[in-house]
Amino acid sequence: MAFEGVNSVQLLQRAMQVCTQNHTVIANNIANADTPNFTPSKLDFQRTLSETLEGRGRFSLRKTQARHLDMTREIPRFEHIALSSKNDYNKVDLEQEMANLSENTGNYTIYGSLLVKQFKQAKDMLAGLR
């Protein structure tokens, strides 16, 4: 998937934001592993990232005074997944959720490392101009 007109710094920052949203969804699933009738959710990472980069999937809070700060919040795209359930009709697969959490943490770490590398390259380039 190509993101035309988006610089790599912005792409990495948005990917880290989506990973943070995904972490919240996964943590909610894990927290509700023993909740009867709970159906876990799954964030659609690619769609959420695309919509975040395109400026869709957001809502803005109304300002009632000029001194208020502008605040925009992302609305993540997620889907409920139905799996085989336990006796209490809870559909959380704890092992799968822990694997998802580990993968998401790894992705966040990779995006952060790439972002640091981008800034280091820019710093080194500017230092070479002196």
Per residue, the 3-state secondary structure of 48-110, as one string, reads HHHHHHHCCCEEECCCCCCCCCCCEEECCCEEECCCCCCCCCCCCCHHHHHHHHHHHHHHHHH
For 16-67, what is each residue's pLDDT tens digit?
999 999 999 999 999 999 999 999 999 988 888 888 888 775 544 455 666 6
pLDDT beyond 80 at 130: no
What's 37's DSSP letter?
A: T
pLDDT beyond 90 at 84: no
The band of 6, judged by pLDDT with boundaries at 50, 70 and 90, is low
Please give the pLDDT value at position 72. 52
Helix axes of 45-54 and 8-31: crossing angle, nearest 10 degrees: 140
The span from the first CA to the last CA of the chain, in angstroms, equals 38
pLDDT beyond 90 at 129: no
- The region of weakest confidence among 23-27, 80-84, 125-129 is 80-84
Mean pLDDT across the chain = 81
Four-residue CA torsion sign, 41, 51, 75, 31: positive
- Percent of the chain exceeding pLDDT 70 equals 71
